[in-house]
């Protein structure tokens, strides 16, 4: 069928673009083949990741780092099928507000403002001076369900309501510990510079590395300070440099297996600090790790039609490849040909 994807739409590289491509190829066997391959790959990787994460959690429980009897609050499932990221974000905020209102006991003297998360004491005469109450919203779900896009939309919507919002990820904490572990290996007298996980990731060393990480307000903003083994830096300033250096990147999976519990507790503490300071924290991640952050606002994004996971990923790959292949201002015919070439190439790569 003729392509109706304009250069403007292709350049957006967003959910609207992927939806247009999925619709364009709805009768295409080649696209269905690619989407099926992508979907199977995503589900397999998610299962492998879940197994590795659970192994790390079990290690943390065995070490006594986290409570083996810990039970998180319930999750609310949201089917994102047919919804835009903005609709999903609004649904989450609506449900969170309704949940909070339902927990307000009659006669408690607490009334809800119309803006999510802002509660004031009815009987207090200093309500105008009261610090805004923080909130923590957890978003989970399989890859391809739109977690990242939804978090971005939540942040935008909340900031429009004059909220202070922080998006938290455990990734930089894992990278910080890996940097410390790699630096420790380099400092050993008998070291040849290579990374030795057995020596670096002992219980004593990990406890020492964690003591070298401090979360708090530095230079007027919340940040993580890395100080030890000759290092003195802030995560926000090195997250795209030192924390992405080869010696960190290649050793993160190994270190993460040993440090799930430590990172979980560090994150929970940091998030509580921001929550107490009236900040709304958006936490996206795998259920195995975000379970340990206390909050009643937990949401799992799901797709009742799981084939869409593969279709979305296939569309994302195709639109990125095609945008690189066409010039600025290309018409729909040129874009259509570029899309077909990209599809043919990707299908050829998966066929035996």
The DSSP line for 30-49 is: HHHHHHHHHHHHHHHHHHHH
Determine how many CB atoms are found less than 10 A away from the CB of residue 63: 13
Burial class of residue 131 (count of CB atoms within 10 Å of its CB; 0-12, 13-18, 19+):
exposed
The DSSP call for residue 240 is: T
The DSSP call for residue 278 is: T
| Six token digits for residue 67 | 């409570």
The pair phi, psi for residue 179, each rounded to 5°, is -60, -45
- pLDDT lower than 50: segments of the chain: 105-129
CA–CA dist 239, 237 (Å, integer):
6
Contact 80, 145 (CB under 8 A): yes
Q: Residue 295: left (phi > 0), alpha (psi -120 to 50), or beta? A: beta
Whether this prediction's pTM lies above 0.85 is answered by no
Q: Residue 204: which residues within 8 A CB-CB, separation 6 or more?
A: none
The pLDDT value recorded for residue 131 is 58
CA–CA dist 286, 292 (Å, integer):
11
The pLDDT value recorded for residue 269 is 93
Q: Residue 239: which residues within 8 A CB-CB, separation 6 or more?
A: 172, 175
| Six token digits for residue 292 | 């340990």
Strand residue runs (E) in 239-332: 280-284, 297-302
Among candidates 270, 240, 248, 265, which has minimal Cα distance to 177? 248
CA–CA dist 138, 299 (Å, integer):
6
């Amino acid at each position: 069928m003729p392509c109706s994807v304009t250069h403007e739409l292709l350049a957006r590289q967003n959910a609207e673009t992927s939806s247009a491509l999925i619709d364009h190829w709805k009768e295409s066997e080649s696209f269905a083949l690619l989407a099926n391959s992508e979907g199977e790959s995503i589900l397999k990787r998610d299962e492998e990741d879940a197994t590795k994460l659970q192994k790390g959690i079990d290690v943390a429980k065995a070490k006594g780092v986290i409570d083996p009897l810990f039970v998180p609050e319930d999750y609310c499932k949201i089917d994102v099928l047919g919804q835009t990221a903005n609709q999903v974000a609004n649904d989450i905020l609506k449900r969170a507000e309704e949940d909070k209102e339902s927990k307000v006991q009659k006669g408690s003297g607490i009334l809800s403002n119309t803006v999510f998360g802002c509660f004031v004491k009815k009987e207090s005469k200093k309500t105008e001076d009261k610090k805004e109450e923080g909130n923590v919203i957890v978003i989970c779900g399989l890859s391809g369900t739109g977690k990242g896009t939804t978090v971005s939309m939540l942040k935008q919507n909340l900031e429009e309501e004059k909220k202070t919002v922080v998006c938290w990820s455990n990734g930089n904490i894992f990278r910080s510990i890996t940097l410390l572990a790699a630096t420790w290996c380099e400092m050993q007298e008998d070291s040849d510079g290579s990374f030795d996980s057995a020596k670096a990731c002992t219980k004593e060393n990990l406890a020492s590395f964690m003591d070298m990480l401090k979360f708090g307000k530095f230079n007027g903003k919340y940040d993580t300070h890395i100080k030890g083994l000759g290092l003195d830096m802030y995560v926000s300033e090195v997250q795209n440099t030192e924390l992405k250096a080869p010696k960190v990147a290649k050793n993160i999976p190994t270190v993460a297996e040993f440090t799930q519990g430590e990172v979980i507790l560090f994150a929970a503490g940091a998030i509580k600090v921001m929550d107490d300071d009236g900040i709304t924290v958006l936490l996206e991640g795998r259920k195995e790790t975000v379970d340990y952050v206390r909050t009643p606002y937990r949401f799992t994004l799901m797709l009742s039609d799981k084939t869409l996971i593969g279709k979305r990923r296939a569309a994302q790959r195709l639109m990125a490849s095609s945008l690189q292949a066409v010039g600025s201002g290309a018409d729909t015919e040129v874009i259509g040909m570029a899309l077909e070439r990209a599809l043919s190439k990707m299908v050829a790569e998966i066929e035996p």
